[in-house]
Amino acid sequence: MFAGFDYGTSHCAIGVWADKTNAVEIVTLEGDKPLVPSTLHAPKVALKLPRAANRQLLTDAEEFTELRFGEAALAEYLADPTQGYFVKSPKSFLGVAGLSEDIRERFVTVIAAMMANVKRRTDAQMNASVDAVVIGRPVNFQGLGGKNANEQSLMMLEESAQLAGFKQVAFQYEPMAAALEYEARLTSEQQILVVDIGGGTTDCSFVRVGATRRESLDRQADVLGHSGERRGGNDYDQALALYAVMREFGYGDLLKSGLPVPNSYFVDAVSTNDVNAQQRFYSKATRERLEFFAREAIPVDRARRLLEVCEQRATYRVLRGVELAKIALSDAELAHIDFSDIEQGFSVATTGEQLLVSFERLLEHLKSLVDEAIASAGLAPERVYLTGGMAKSRVVREFLVATYPGVSFIDSDHFLSVTEGLTLWSQRLFR
């Protein structure tokens, strides 16, 4: 059996090709949902997972069955952030420069475990072993290493997929995959600009699609231009957090001495997809500074909340609250974030206006990225195909519509179009 696997920063989804119906079948991964959040929780910080002689993870070993994934992992972590080991969005760490051998090994194990969980559910649902898989890849992975970031990321993903038990592994660009799903519905030839704004990355690709292209195995020539950057939904969350939420945690406050509480502590706190920033925030040195601010800031109660975030190891929880507010503000003018676990009765109200202002800089980046893809293809876009969760945001969509008048916008299944395309590709590649 063949599968298309969207190993996303925020969510994973997988599809298999069903010969019976001659169509993509999306696998149910958690509860009755096709998407499982890219999270893992282990009861112990040391992550030792037994492997078979061929290095494949043994998914019936106790150490594996103790792991939690997706919403279940998040729930386990939120119940007590000081216990066990929790990871979210390991994809965003893949391209980090200067990874030590230990850390590299740990990430590969984490990703392999997540993939093995997905494979196990897929095999059970299909009543067969899925051995060949096409995994989606962004044009550029997050990380500071440029070309090296991409090579390193692909090697780690491939190794993880093998440890998870996939025997044949291929990659396809995520935006091309999204376009393949659209192509399957086309009778004419079109040049479309795919804009995929996910959790960790934004990819723009100009692609040629059409009924006549469909059977071709080499689609390189149909990628007419592209651009990509390591900014996505997480960055929008952070922007909203700094603009509208961190104020209530003492951002911008002064100390009795008249000096400001340095911004860097707040930036580190909200940078939940930056390992170094999180290490800094939870370090002993930071803790001491935060204790000092909690005595010396005016007013002290706001500064105390930041110390509480540090003591409770609650940065993910804070950012998750902000993310939910961001999503709610897509349809509402006001969203409250409940922080009563940080301080009794404490909540922060966020508004559509704050969302607009906090997104401004990111939307300018988005415009330059879209323009770069247009310039690299040397074509004027007639159609923009929107996909990825962040492109569901009303603010983002309205910005693009206003910035590119005369262009028609095609909406997809923002969360599954990449998976569908990857599965279509797996069928062509492996059949």
Ligand X SMILES: Nc1ncnc2c1ncn2[C@@H]1O[C@H](COP(=O)(O)OP(=O)(O)OP(=O)(O)O)[C@@H](O)[C@H]1O
For residue 4, state whether it binds ligand X (rule: CB under 6 A).
no
CB of 412 closer than 8 Å to CB of 387? yes
**7-36 footprint of Mg ion as x/- string (CB under 5 A):** -x----------------------------
Span from 44-52, 347-355, 383-391, 422-430 in contact with ligand X (CB under 6 A): 383-391
| Binding window for ligand X (CB under 6 A); candidates: 9-17, 52-60, 160-168, 271-279 | 9-17
Relative orientation angle of helices 315-328 and 233-240, to the nearest 10 degrees: 100
DSSP per-residue codes, 321-333:
HHHHHHHHTTT-S
CB of 393 or CB of 427, closer to ligand X: 393
- For ligand X, the closer of residues 36 and 297 by Cβ is 36
Return the one option of Mg ion, ligand X, none that residue 235 interacts with (CB less than 5 to 8 A, by type). none
Nearest to 179 by CA among 429, 426, 430, 422: 422
Q: Is 232 in the site for Mg ion (CB under 5 A)?
A: no
Name which position in 168, 330, 351, 376 contacts ligand X (CB under 6 A). 330
Residue 358 makes contact with ligand X by CB under 6 A:
no
Stretch that binds Mg ion, among 15-23, 145-153, 161-169, 190-198 (CB under 5 A): 190-198
Is residue 34 a contact residue for ligand X (CB under 6 A)?
no
Task: By CB under 5 A, tell whether 198 contacts Mg ion.
Answer: yes
Asked if 143 touches ligand X (CB under 6 A), the answer is no
**Helix or strand or coil: residue 287?**
helix
> Contacts by 218-223 with C-beta closer than 8 Å and gap 24+?
219/176, 222/176, 223/173, 223/176
Q: How far is the CB of 275 from Mg ion (least distance, A)?
A: 21
By CB under 5 A, residue 250 contacts Mg ion: no
Q: Which is nearer to ligand X, 149 or 297 (CB)?
A: 149
Contact, 234 vs 9, CB < 8 A?
Answer: yes
Amino acid, single-letter form, for residue 374: I
**Which of 307, 345, 348, 300 is closest to 328 using CA atoms?**
348
User: Helix, strand, or coil here: 18?
Assistant: strand
Rounded CA-CA distance 161/119 in Å is: 9
Element (H, E) at 266: helix 264-270
Among 214, 247, 392, 397, which residue interacts with ligand X (rule: CB under 6 A)? 392
Taking CB under 6 A as the rule, does residue 140 contact ligand X? Answer: no
Instruction: Give whichever of 168 and 330 is closer to ligand X, judged by the CB atom.
Output: 330
- Among the listed ranges 59-67, 98-106, 292-300, 326-334, the one in contact with ligand X (CB under 6 A) is 326-334
DSSP assignment of 334-401 equals: EEEEE-TTTSTT-EEEEEHHHHHHHHHHHHHHHHHHHHHHHHHHT---SEEEEESGGGG-HHHHHHHH
By CB under 6 A, the count of residues binding ligand X is 22
The answer to whether 75 touches 40, Cβ cutoff 8 Å, is no
Residue 415: contacted member of ligand X, Mg ion, none (CB under 5 to 8 Å, by partner type): ligand X
**165 near ligand X (CB under 6 A):** no
- Contact between 193 and 374 under an 8 Å Cβ cutoff? The reply is yes
Q: Minimal distance in Å, beta carbon 346 to ligand X?
A: 23
Compute CA 400 distance to the chain's CA centroid, rounded to the nearest angstrom: 21
- Does position 389 interact with ligand X (CB under 6 A)? The reply is yes
Among 393, 419, 426, 427, binds ligand X (CB under 6 A): 393
Q: Going by C-beta distance under 8 Å and a sequence separation of 6 or more, which residues neighbour residue 248?
A: 302, 305, 346, 348
State the binding partner of 10 from Mg ion, ligand X, none, CB within 5 to 8 A by kind.
ligand X
Which residues here bind ligand X, judged by CB under 6 A? 8-11, 91, 198-201, 232-234, 323, 326-327, 330, 388-390, 392-393, 415
